[in-house]
Amino acid sequence: MHEIEEKESVWNRPISRRSFLKKTAIFGAIGGLGIEGFALEPRQVAVTNTDIYIAGLPDDFDGFRICQLTDVHHGPLISIKFVEKVIEKANQLKPDAFVLTGDYVSSSPKYIRPVINAFGKLNAPYGTYAVLGNHDHWEGEELCIRNFKRNKIALLTNTNTVITKRGSICIAGIGDYLEDTQEPDKAFKGIPDDMPRILLSHHPDYSEEIPKDIRVDLVISGHTHGGQVQIPMLGIAPIVPSKYGQKYANGLAKNSKTQVYVSRGVGMIGIPVRFSCPPEIALLTLRKKEIAIQI
């Protein structure tokens, strides 16, 4: 995995959520995005396949597939019919487990129950696991909690679950970076130091703040939408709602503590535009990383 330049530039500056909404609208309006950006690409959902290498991964988990859905933003711009089609497409991939990494609704609490009911149709042998995003807090945290429970989806807010075959892995979740508390000690409570650890965090920036004494093998995040608008050929998003800019726009990144996968997400906020940045269903395949032996 190559290192990603962290030096601040015009593309790599901190940006608030409000600024992101405003500037996304501006960049969406300029450049003649036309039919492609406004009508076609927002509905053309791409499946992204990525191998994730983890040291110490048990043999039985080599090839274990995790499907991530995030930032669905069911609301005025994203219909439940579209969400259901995305879920149908995700189920066709037949992953071992699903993870949901926040921002399921926009604009009103009335969208919470329908979208979480739709998530209840996700089908994987090792279950579905979720964390909340900032929009879920804004529209109704308690309503989200009740509906996840009713649909038998494990909400991992500062807690964890263990998946066991011959050997085990841990999937933990952390509170939202913008709206909640992050309690990593609670999130990994009871997990042996040598067990592979995957952390669900809606906001990728939290990965930079993981305490040094807590090991995490992979963080799975959303929040950024890939910027929604990217410059063709360059793959640069003019606007990224992360203080680390392009580093966490989308895809697999690495920092001094862990590796981070950031999905472009399914939905949109601001104006209904995506350009050179299609909605994403992320399929992550765990691979065993061989540890070099020093002689």
Q: How confident is the model at residue 1 (pLDDT cuts 50, 70, 90)?
A: very low
pTM of the model: 0.87
Q: How confident is the model at residue 289 (pLDDT cuts 50, 70, 90)?
A: confident
For the chain, the average pLDDT equals 89
What Å distances lie between residue 81 and 71, 75, 85, 88, 192, CA to CA?
A: 16, 11, 6, 11, 42
Pairwise CA distance, residues 277 & 268, whole Å: 11
The percent of residues above 90 in pLDDT, for the chain, comes to: 77
- pLDDT of 163 above 80: yes
pLDDT in tens, 40-67: 556 789 999 999 999 999 999 999 999 9
Indicate the fold that domain 17-288 takes in CATH.
Purple Acid Phosphatase; chain A, domain 2 (3.60.21)
Question: What is the residue-wise DSSP string for 205-238?
Answer: GGGGG--TTS--SEEEE-SSGGGSB-BTTTTB-S
Contact 120, 152 (CB under 8 A): yes
pLDDT in tens, 108-153: 999 999 999 999 999 999 999 999 999 999 999 999 999 999 999 9
Give the pLDDT of residue 25.
Answer: 53
Single-letter code of the amino acid located at 207: S
User: Mean pLDDT: which of 40-44, 169-173, 179-183 is highest?
Assistant: 169-173
Give the pLDDT of residue 8.
Answer: 39
Domain range list for the chain:
17-288
Q: How confident is the model at residue 180 (pLDDT cuts 50, 70, 90)?
A: confident
Residue 156, token pair as written in the block: 């991992």
Residue 45, token pair as written in the block: 């959902």
pLDDT in tens, 206-252: 999 999 999 999 999 999 999 999 998 888 999 899 999 999 999 99
- pLDDT of 3 above 60: no
Single-letter code of the amino acid located at 264: R
Pairwise CA distance, residues 132 & 126, whole Å: 20
What Å distances lie between residue 149 and 128, 130, 186, 196, CA to CA?
A: 12, 11, 20, 26
Helix (H) or strand (E) holding 23: helix 17-29
- pLDDT of 265 above 80: yes
User: Which residues neighbour 200 within 8 Å (Cβ) at sequence distance 6 or greater?
Assistant: 99, 101, 129, 130, 131, 156, 171, 172, 173, 174, 219, 220, 221
Helix (H) or strand (E) holding 88: helix 80-92
